[in-house]
Amino acid sequence: TLFRSPKLSVAEAHVEARAGPPQSNVSLRTGKTAGDSPTFYREAFPVYKATGPKTDRIDVLFLHGQSFTSKTWQDLGTLSLLAENGYRAISLDLPGYGMSLDSKAKASEQGRVDYILRIIETLGLKEPVLVSPSMSGLFSLPLVLLQGERLKGFVPIAPVGTKSYSAEQYQRVQIPTLIVYGDRDTNLGTQSLENLRQIPKHTIAMLTDAKHACYMDQPRQFHQVLLSFLNSLK
């Protein structure tokens, strides 16, 4: 099969388009999870031809910043690019953003951890790489620090909340981490870097001539470092 069937029901989903390089087509679709916190998502995944699907494919889950939604990653071409390179890429509208209703799950740290874990289970993701810019650090950091073993990798992009945790907590994180920030982001970029670099298995990628939303300012640089990191996890 192309990908694992979700363990929980998905309320709706439809295919939007197909495109891609000769060795694999790319399917793009949108959907909404069922349950207490219905979440809108966008997904791109490779459709292989004669060679069949790759068994070592990595799933990548994208969160978003306060001024953005799941559509940001589609508009940047990130979802399609990853699918063209053999990855399954999913971006979410977090509770209260885009086409996802607000949820009481985001009111507490444990609630946010449980929310992301529920999404991972619902969409049938196996140890995904979690990409988390800015505001979404409120969701990703507690998960990485409390249950990082559920992830294959972590890509924080100047996330909020890094100063809320101790050096000892960061040093316990054992998953490979790509720390991304813009060289012109002198606030959250530098602050998050100083905290996150205490994670033992980290790599730092500074995007040049880029501000806080560095992946928006320099998408080509961002895509290059992200693909390089993902390839290193295979």
Q: Confirm whether 185 is a catalytic residue.
A: yes
Q: Confirm whether 27 is a catalytic residue.
A: no
| 137-147 vs 109-122: helix crossing angle, rounded to 10 | 80
Name the active-site residue from 80, 136, 202, 212.
212
Q: Confirm whether 212 is a catalytic residue.
A: yes
HSE value, Cβ hemisphere, 13 Å, CA-based, for 217: 16
Name the active-site residue from 93, 185, 192, 202.
185
Burial (CB count within 10 angstroms: exposed 0-12, middle 13-18, buried 19+), residue 140:
buried
The Cα 62–Cα 79 span in angstroms is: 9
What's the chain's length in residues?
Answer: 234
The Cα 204–Cα 199 span in angstroms is: 11
Cβ atoms within 10 Å of 26's Cβ, excluding its own: 21
Which helix (H) or strand (E) is 32 found in, with range?
strand 24-33
The Cα 154–Cα 152 span in angstroms is: 7
The Cα 94–Cα 106 span in angstroms is: 9
Name the active-site residue from 37, 132, 134, 140.
134
- Looking at the DSSP bridge assignments, the partners of residue 153 are 129
**Pairing state of beta strands 88-92 and 129-133?**
unpaired
Among all residues, which ones are annotated catalytic? 134, 185, 212
